[in-house]
Amino acid sequence: MAQVLEFKLPDLGEGLTEAEIVRWLVDIGDVVAIDQPVVEVETAKAMVEVPCPYGGVVTARFGEEGTELPVGAPLITVAVGERAPSGGGAEEARTESSGNVLVGYGTSEAPARRRRVRQEPVAGAAPTAAVNGRAGVPEAEDGPLPVISPLVRRLARQNGLDLRELTGSGPDGLILRADVEYALRAAPRPAATEAPAPRPAATAAPGEIRTPLKGMRGAVADKLSRSRREIPDATCWVDADATELMRARTAMNTAGGPKISLLALLARICTAALARFPELNSTVDAQAREVVQFDHVHLGFAAQTDRGLVVPVVRDAHARDAESLSAEFARLTEAGRTGTLTPGELTGGTFTLNNYGVFGVDGSTPIINHPEAAMLGVGRIVPKPWVHEGELAVRQVVQLSLTFDHRVCDGGTAGGFLRYVADCVEQPAVLLRTL
């Protein structure tokens, strides 16, 4: 007979706690394969197709389109294929599960699918150990800790929970987020005062339009508020003559080959500056009272989309040339427009480049992308009167600004970084010294 398995909304990465059902990709009664996408959801960061780790027949769906579900809530139930005798008295379940923990937005790069033997209870045999009040598979004495999700590890670490004391309820004893949360709920707690009753939702008064701060807008609001609350930021700025940089880009793009974007050239300048002033490529561990400096540059860049502001991240930008940077900026920008950026492409940045000049403005004092330590802002490049080689001339002028966490460095370092960036903008040949 078939076994009905429940698939819950998985961890979607980087603290995302809920998602809205946009479109169901399967109906009740449909046959689904292992790791087949079954629903499209919208998180605070991206549109995501969620694959189900079970193969079988869909017996139920939970939530209509437009419903917001928390992580861990049931999504669907699947009747797994029939069992067949295996000669030795044991039975094996056909197409039961991929054995993957869904962290991020899918189970791509899954290991080879396995057929797992399901043992029948033996009379007189000792039951498996129950941990956290749950029955589970016995914990191996040796070998790696059976945890895949970094979110599970972080949740346990933040709450002082030893994962080796838990038995996972996932495939092959894998410790899931639900196991950690169950253990935390079961742990003794100090008596707490009664929580106040939730405030009822406000109704709009005449002339008012109220928009809930949820989804992407809510996530952005929370992150910006945290940045302004925790980071003592300061901003310095300088005007620079970008005429030679624009000429260099024109020359590069008339020589044939892939086109080089202005953003890529600015990114190349930015990574060269960070190599000279690595203090700005860091973060502050407030709990340990330490500045954590990185030996790599994962460069975020601000991109405005129909769904709001997103900050995709170019991994290892310091190791890319202008052509590679141009291609990656174009790919991530298009993914941002279509809402297909993954959580991994939106997180992990160490420094942000913000080209707000595309909005037709000269300057800004942006809020740092927490938990980073700095952001370089670039205004519009416009013809302006400028003293060039002792003569008044019309040149292509840009305002550059640097907003930085004053805990990681003082004004001398920030000013040196910004001055080096300006020198490279004015004389692109300066970059040759760092190649």
The residues carrying an active-site annotation are 406
Burial tier of 25 (Cβ tally within 10 Å: 0-12, 13-18, 19+):
middle
User: Other CB atoms closer than 10 Å to residue 241's CB: what's the count?
Assistant: 21
Backbone angles phi, psi at 107, to 5 degrees: -120, 35
The secondary structure element, H or E, covering residue 335 is helix 322-338
The string of DSSP codes covering 144-174 is: S-S---HHHHHHHHHTT--GGG----SGGGP
Q: Are 55 and 95 in contact (CB under 8 A)?
A: yes
- SS3 label, residue 408: coil
User: Other CB atoms closer than 10 Å to residue 30's CB: what's the count?
Assistant: 16
Can you give the C-alpha Rg of the chain in angstroms?
Answer: 27
The one-letter amino acid at 383: P
Give, rounded to a whole angstrom, the gap between the first and last alpha carbons of the chain: 66
Angstrom distance (rounded) from CA 349 to CA 256:
32
**Quick one: which of 146, 398, 155, 367 has its CA closest to 262?**
398
